Amino acid sequence: MTTKLRDLSKLCVHTLTNKPWNLQQCVEKYSAAGIRGITIWRNVLENQNLNEAFTMLNDNNMSVVSIARGGFFPSVNKPERIKALDDNLLAIEQAAAVGAPSVVLVCGADGRQSLAKSREQIKEGIIKLLPAAKAAGVKLSIEPLHPMYAADRSAVNTLAQANDMVEEINSDFVGVAVDVYHLWWDNNLQSEIKRCGANNSIFAFHICDWNVPTTDFLNDRGLMGDGCINVPEIRGWVENAGFSGFNEVEIFSDKYWKINQTDYLEKIKNAYLKYS
């Protein structure tokens, strides 16, 4: 086996990883650090002229990998479901405006109904978005979330469930986002990643680490190498399944948000080269 030396060409950072920074700071700092990929969280697009954002990204040679995030389809209340669709249409528009090829879907869940019902509404919602997604040339990535979020953030909790949905919807515009944080524990992960390969459906690959012990279920993600996830192994599976896109560093961390973000970016680069 030959081991190819890791370089920064496939590194993408999510703006929320550097939560203290606005879009301009993220773009300028990433670009200066030799990072070419950026996934834009919609909070930094608020009060931001999208044409100016597009120009700024271009001027700094950044590739926008995704917009994060759409989704949150299910609700026991129909008006809420309609509102969610409108918000997703806006996410698709924003993606097209800044040159993002895809929107990541955190699919949602409503604890007042069954997971099966929520999944049904998720599928319905995605199908309703398809004409707009196709017209805009923006793909939709279903991101399965760890089961600890099943009651409120996503009723899609395994890659198998996401693959089922992708196959049922059966559109080139719908695929999956594989996030090691959410999926590392699954003993079917390798075979389900293979299944994605057959469908050509891996649209995104998110990396970070699972801290042991974890002190917060949302904002205690680790930097690669901090915890127990074998990121290189999972990356190997994803690449064997035909994925050749960016590796997106997505870390929500109260700990890292407190430190100097420029120093943190250096840590991210080093951890990426060494542990991913």
Question: Where on the chain is the footprint of Zn ion (CB under 5 A)?
Answer: 179, 206, 250
Q: How far is the CB of 181 from Zn ion (least distance, A)?
A: 7
Q: How far is the CB of 205 from Zn ion (least distance, A)?
A: 9
Name residue, tokens 């999926």: 183
Q: How far is the CB of 177 from Zn ion (least distance, A)?
A: 6
Closer to Zn ion at the Cβ: 73 or 205? Answer: 205
274 vs 276: CA distance, rounded Å: 6
Residue 151 in tokens: 């009651």
Identify each DSSP E strand in 151-196 by its residue range. Answer: 174-179
Distances (CA, A) of 163 to 65, 72, 113, 141, 172: 21, 18, 22, 11, 13
Helix (H), strand (E) at residue 64: strand 63-71
Closer to Zn ion at the Cβ: 56 or 248? Answer: 248
197 vs 243: CA distance, rounded Å: 8
Closer to Zn ion at the Cβ: 179 or 186? Answer: 179
Degrees, nearest 5: CA angle 205-206-211? 145
182 vs 148: CA distance, rounded Å: 9
Residues in contact with 56: Cβ distance below 8 Å, sequence separation at least 6, in sequence order: 23, 24, 27
> In this structure, what are the phi and psi dihedrals at residue 248, rounded to the nearest 5 degrees?
-100, 120
Closer to Zn ion at the Cβ: 209 or 250? Answer: 250
Q: How far is the CB of 1 from Zn ion (least distance, A)?
A: 28
Q: How far is the CB of 69 from Zn ion (least distance, A)?
A: 8
Closer to Zn ion at the Cβ: 75 or 154? Answer: 154
Q: How far is the CB of 39 from Zn ion (least distance, A)?
A: 9
Closer to Zn ion at the Cβ: 56 or 91? Answer: 91
